[in-house]
Amino acid sequence: MDYSFAGLPLHVLLVHAVIVLTPLLGLTLVVVAAWPAARRVLWLPALIGAAILLPLGLVTIEAGKWLEQRVPPAPLIQVHTAQGEDIVPWLIALLVLAVAIAVWALVERAARRRGAADGDVASRVATPGRGIRIGVGVVLTAAALVIAAGSTWTLVRIGEAGSRAVWEGSFSDEPLAD
């Protein structure tokens, strides 16, 4: 497959989307996990974002492998390429967490609807107790914090290696004369 677009390697275009969307999705999942009002509104966009980000990340990696075969071999590129796939488990974790948050949001929605339809007595039986709601919220928030931090840190390491591969030794510390 050809991983180029308008004469540019697709990897250098896609990588910017992954760099922006991964921390953004991580932060969104932290907010959605910790804040029930946000969860009611943002669970679906977060789930869609995670479902798009995983294949986007995988295509970016494949485009990077394609590009690696088309540039001169260099140790810095090999370091970057070796680290590139480290993001995959984090992207999967973001998707799994988004699914878990979506399921919890739907459970909460169903409980609210049953409560509104059945009156207060029935809602106490069908609605998860306050302790369960708080416990699930704490677990989801802790998981979101760990996954957001881990995915962002991994992305920073990979991106730093890629930046070094492209830019190290290719510019001057002083302005060039015209």
The full set of domain ranges for the chain reads 4-166
Q: Is the dihedral of CA 130, 136, 139, 145 positive or negative?
A: negative
Q: Which residue in 153, 158, 21 sits closest to 81, CA to CA?
A: 158
pLDDT band at 176 (very low <50, low <70, confident <90, very high): confident
Q: So what's the pLDDT on residue 119? A: 60
CA 56 to the chain's CA centroid: 10
C-alpha radius of gyration, the chain, whole number: 22
Residue 102 pLDDT class (50, 70, 90 cuts): very high
Q: Is 170 helix (H, G, I), strand (E, B) or coil?
A: coil
3-class SS of residue 178: coil
Residue 8 bridge partners (DSSP) = 5
**Which H or E run contains 9?**
strand 8-9
Query: pLDDT tens digits, residue range 62-80?
Result: 999 999 999 998 999 999 9
User: Higher confidence at residue 117 or residue 26?
Assistant: 26
User: Quick one: pLDDT at residue 92?
Assistant: 98
Q: How much of the chain exceeds pLDDT 90, in percent?
A: 77
Cα 129 from Cα 25, distance rounded (Å): 29
Concatenate the DSSP letters of all residues of 76-139 into one string: HHHHHHHHHTTHHHHHHHHHHHHHHHHHHHHHHHHHHHHHHHH-HHHHHHHSPPHHHHHHHHHH
Compute the mean pLDDT over every residue in the chain, rounded to the nearest whole number: 92
Backbone φ and ψ of 5, nearest 5°: -145, 125
How many Cβ atoms are within 10 Å of 148's Cβ, its own excluded?
24
Span 13-56, pLDDT tens digits: 999 999 999 999 999 999 999 999 999 999 999 999 999 999 99
Helix axes 75-84, 36-68, angle to 10 degrees: 140
